[in-house]
Chains A and B, each alone.
Chain A
Amino acid sequence: DQQVKQNSPSLSVQEGRISILNCDYTNSMFDYFLWYKKYPAEGPTFLISISSIKDKNEDGRFTVFLNKSAKHLSLHIVPSQPGDSAVYFCAAVGSQGNLIFGKGTKLSVKP
C-alpha cells in the first residue's frame, strides 16, 4: 500500500516554462517531506524539504507547497532548464527517520 504517491510517471515541459510535480500522501502523521532528484546511474540527491508547520518553502528556482488538508504537496521549478531533466522523487519521513518514497516522476525539459 503506497503511502506516498506520485501519479504522473512523466512530465515534459519547454525550457523557461514552469514545471509542476505533484505528490499525495495518505498518512496524516507525516510531518516532514523532501524532494530528491535522480540522474541515471547516480543516487538520489536532496533538493528541498518542507515541514508540516509551513505551507511553502523556496530555494532559488525551486518551491515546494504543502496542503495538509488535502495531503498534497507540489514542487515548482521556475524557470525550467534542460539540466533539470531527471527523475524527481517525493518522500516523507517515517517514524524511524527512514524515508518513504513515491515512485517518481520523470521530468524532461526540452530546449
Chain B
Amino acid sequence: DTGVSQDPRHKITKRGQNVTFRCDPISEHNRLYWYRQTLGQGPEFLTYFQNEAQLEKSRLLSDRFSAERPKGSFSTLEIQRTEQGDSAMYLCASSSWDRVDGYTFGSGTRLTVV
C-alpha cells in the first residue's frame, strides 16, 4: 500500500468554476477525513466518513462544498462556484476507527482560485 493518495496535487481555477478533488485512502482504513489548511494556520476539519456514511460536517463546509465516498473506498470533494477564499491546501487523511494515532495524511491538493 502506497499510503493516502490525492489527485491532483495542484489546481488553478478561475473564480466561479467548479473543481473536484479525489482521495484514495489506505485500503484497510474505514475512516476518511477532509481538512483544509490556509497559510499560517493548522489544518481545519471539514468532514469525515466512516465507510460510505458521512458522519460529521464542520460549519466550514458551506453548501458550495460536497463530499462523497461511494462504496466506502475513494472519496471526492467538490467545490462549486469557487471563490478566492477557497484557495487553500485540501488534505485528506484516513484511519482505522480505533486508531486515532494511525491517522495518515495525503500530500494534499493545492487549490488556487484566480
Contacts and interface: CB of A to CB of B under 8 A. Distances in A.
Contacts of A100: 45
Nearest to A4: B42
A91 B91 CA distance: 15
Contacts, number: 61
Given A98-B45, A98-B56, A103-B42, A44 B101 contact: no
B40 A43 contact: no
Nearest to B41: A103
Nearest to A95: B56
Q: Which residue, A6, A96, A103, has most C-beta atoms of chain B within 10 A?
A: A96
A93 B93 CA distance: 14
Interface residues of B, number: 26
A45 interface: yes
Q: Which residue, B56, B93, B103, has most C-beta atoms of chain A within 10 A?
A: B103
Interface string A1-42: 000101001000000000000000000000010101000011
Interface of A: 4, 6, 9, 32, 34, 36, 41-46, 49, 89, 91, 93-94, 96-104
